[in-house]
Amino acid sequence: MDKRTGEAVRYLGYGNHAVDEDTLGLIEASFSELSETAKKRIVYRIFELQTPDDEQVIIGNYLVKSRNLARNLQGCEKVVLLGATLGAGVDLLLRRYALTEVARAAVMQACAAADLEEYLDEWQEGFKKKMAKEGWYLRPRFSPGYGDFSILCQEQILRMLDAAKRIGLTMTDSYMLTPTKSVTALIGLGRENTLCGKGGCEECEKTDCVYRRST
C-beta of residue 136 within 8 angstroms of C-beta of residue 78: yes
Beta carbon of residue 138, minimum distance to other proteins (angstroms, whole number): 15
CB of 3 to other proteins, least distance (A): 19
Q: Which is nearer to other proteins, 70 or 86 (CB)?
A: 86
**Minimal distance in Å, beta carbon 199 to other proteins?**
19
Nearer to other proteins, 122 or 148 (CB): 148
Nearest approach in angstroms of CB 181 to other proteins is: 11
Considering the complex, state which of residue 165 and residue 213 has its C-beta at the smaller distance from other proteins.
165
3-state helix, strand, coil in the chain (%, to 5): 45, 20, 35
CB of 136 to other proteins, least distance (A): 12
Of the two residues 126 and 195, which places its CB atom closer to other proteins in the complex? 126
Beta strand 56-59 pairing with 41-53: antiparallel
Task: Please give the residue ranges that form the binding site for other proteins (CB under 8 A).
Answer: 12-14, 17, 19-23, 25-26, 28-29, 32-33, 39, 41, 45-48, 60-62, 78, 87-89, 91-92, 94-96, 98-103, 105-107, 109, 145, 151-152, 156, 158-160, 164-168, 170-176, 178-180
CB atoms within 10 A of CB 40: 20
User: Nearest-CA neighbor of 182 among 139, 143, 125?
Assistant: 143
- Of 89 and 199, the one with the shorter C-beta distance to other proteins is 89
What are the CB-based long-range contacts (under 8 Å, 24+) for 70-73?
71/197, 72/139, 72/140, 72/142, 72/186, 72/188, 72/197, 72/199, 72/203, 73/49, 73/139, 73/142, 73/186, 73/188
